[in-house]
Structure 1
Amino acid sequence: MIICDNKMKIRYVNAQFPGSNHDSHIWNVSNARYFHEKKYLDGERNSWLLGDAGYALEPWLMTPFRTPPSGSPEEKYNKIHAKARNIVERTIGVFKNRFRCLLGARELHYEPWKAPQIVNVAAVLHNVCIHYRVNDESLENNSEPNIFTESNEILSSTYNDAASQIREAICATLTRV
């Protein structure tokens, strides 16, 4: 699981779980989730993370609407959400192309305790490359992947009402734009 900013810097990475674990499980047990929940409970409500449909809607994590009617504000929200979330898919692509050992069979052939350390170091080096604008020609031809895939998994959340209200408010502003 990766959280990045709009400049493709990796702000959080968690490679402690094997690939068979769903991102939502990793999110639910992550320090990043607890950090954002604490900020929300402390009254900070001016920023959100964007997640795909496999994540539960939370007041600090905006997800797309499931099967919105064609031409509706919800469909417009989903399109804008997908465009904005594209940055994480591009970041992952650049990250894996920069550190080719992360490509392929999606596993590092090291002890389970060592593989997350390699990913963490690669993330730091990726951020150094971003900071110093290291230009890797092999990354320039990286095409943008399809970033909107819907998951059938429905996750529950204790913050669902507040999160739904936030997402509805964002969606309502789109009808005025």
Structure 2
Amino acid sequence: MLLCDNELRIRYVDACHPGACHDSFIWNNSDLRVHFERQYLQGARNAWLLGDAGYPLEPWLLTPHRTPEEGSREMRFNEAHSKCRNIIERTNGVLKNRWRCLLGARELHYTPEKAAKITNVCCTLHNICIHFKANVEIELEVLEPEDADVTPIASTQYSAVAQSIRAHIGSAL
């Protein structure tokens, strides 16, 4: 699981889980989720993460609407959401192009713990390259989310609040 900013800098990485683990499982067991929930419970209402449909909708994690009607506010929200989420797809592309050992077709032939460390180091070096503007010239294609048809584990405790936030943003579009 990666979290990046608008300049493709990686702000959080969790490489401790195998690729077969579902996004919502990794999210629900992450320190990042605990951090954002704690901030929310302390009154912070000024930051949102964007996640694909594989993640649960929470007040600090906005996901797309399921099957919105054509031309609706929900559809406009999903289109804006998708454009913004493209940044993480671009970040993944640049990261894997810089450090070819991270490509999906190849495997890191090490223990899971060592493979996680290698991934973390690649992310750190990626950020250093971003900082010093050592860009990689690559053709970046727009990637579609892999888990768009997966139903996440719902967090009913926050669902109503998160739906209200998402609706408020959608009405402003």
Q: Smaller-chain TM-score range?
A: over 0.9
TM-score using structure 1 length: 0.93
Gaps of 5+ in 1: none
The residue that corresponds to 2:133 in the other structure is 133
CA contact (8 A) 1:82 1:148 kept: no
The residue that corresponds to 2:158 in the other structure is 159
1:101/1:144 Cα in 2 relative to 1: closer, same or farther (>3 Å)? same
Rounded to whole Å, the distance in 1 between the matches of 2:89 and 2:117 is: 22
CA contact (8 A) 1:62 1:163 kept: yes
CA contact (8 A) 1:19 1:106 kept: no
* 1:145 shift after superposition: 2.0
Deviations 1:24-68 (A, max 9, x none): 110110000001111111111011000001111000000000000
The residue that corresponds to 1:117 in the other structure is 117
CA contact (8 A) 2:59 2:161 kept: yes
Gaps of 5+ in 2: none
TM-score using structure 2 length: 0.95
Give me the CA root mean square deviation: 1.3
CA contact (8 A) 1:96 1:102 kept: yes
Rounded to whole Å, the distance in 2 between the matches of 1:45 and 1:74 is: 21
* 1:124 shift after superposition: 0.4
SS at match of 2:12: strand
* Count of paired positions: 172
The residue that corresponds to 1:169 in the other structure is 168
2:141 to 140, 143, 150: 143
* 1:148 shift after superposition: 7.5
SS at match of 2:11: strand
The residue that corresponds to 1:35 in the other structure is 35
Rounded to whole Å, the distance in 2 between the matches of 1:154 and 1:46 is: 24
The residue that corresponds to 2:9 in the other structure is 9
CA contact (8 A) 1:50 1:61 kept: yes
